[in-house]
């Protein structure tokens, strides 16, 4: 029951931010695009705040270790066309704990039980 209400809150927040993006200036849009582009980004805090680490995958089934944000990532953006799998261990060992759909973002990984855990990420075919 509680889980359902949390998810609804997330959807409402996403809708609000989309509306804000539509009304935002071109300058704000450019900043948004340049902050992550077509790659994949992790952020230190919720709501895409704090330090950012950007990953540029050139092919699927490629693993990348999280460096500066190891065990610190709390939100993510995945504007890429691939699915991104999150691993608690380095080198994408073990099973992934969370997967981000292509073109998705998550302002708070806590709902998925993956706050401050990500140590490596892998892009796979969607």
Q: Among residues 36, 41, 72, 80, which is the contact residue for Ca ion, using CB under 5 A?
A: 72
- Are 120 and 92 in contact by the 8 Å Cβ rule? The answer is yes
Q: Is 74 in the site for Ca ion (CB under 5 A)?
A: yes
Strand partners, 98: 86
- Cβ distance to Ca ion smaller for residue 57 or 87: 87
Please compute, for residue 12, the number of CA atoms within 13 A of its CA located in the half-sphere on the CB side.
6
- Cβ distance to Ca ion smaller for residue 97 or 102: 97
Q: Among residues 17, 88, 105, 111, which is the contact residue for Ca ion, using CB under 5 A?
A: 88
Strand partners, 55: 40
The piece of 56-64, 66-74, 91-99, 103-111 that touches Ca ion (CB under 5 A) is 66-74
**Other C-beta atoms lying within 10 Å of the C-beta of residue 44:** 17
């Amino acid at each position: 029951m509680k889980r359902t209400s949390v998810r609804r809150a997330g959807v409402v927040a996403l809708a609000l931010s989309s509306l804000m993006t539509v009304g935002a200036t071109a300058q704000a849009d450019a900043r948004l695009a340049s902050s992550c582009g077509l790659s994949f980004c992790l952020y230190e805090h919720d709501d895409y705040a704090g330090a950012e680490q950007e990953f540029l995958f050139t092919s699927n089934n490629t693993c990348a270790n999280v460096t500066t944000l190891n065990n610190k990532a709390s939100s993510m953006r995945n504007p890429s066309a691939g699915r991104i799998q999150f691993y608690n261990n380095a080198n994408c060992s073990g099973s992934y704990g969370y997967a981000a759909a292509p073109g998705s973002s998550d302002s708070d990984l806590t709902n998925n039980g993956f706050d401050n855990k990500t140590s490596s990420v892998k892009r796979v075919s969607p």
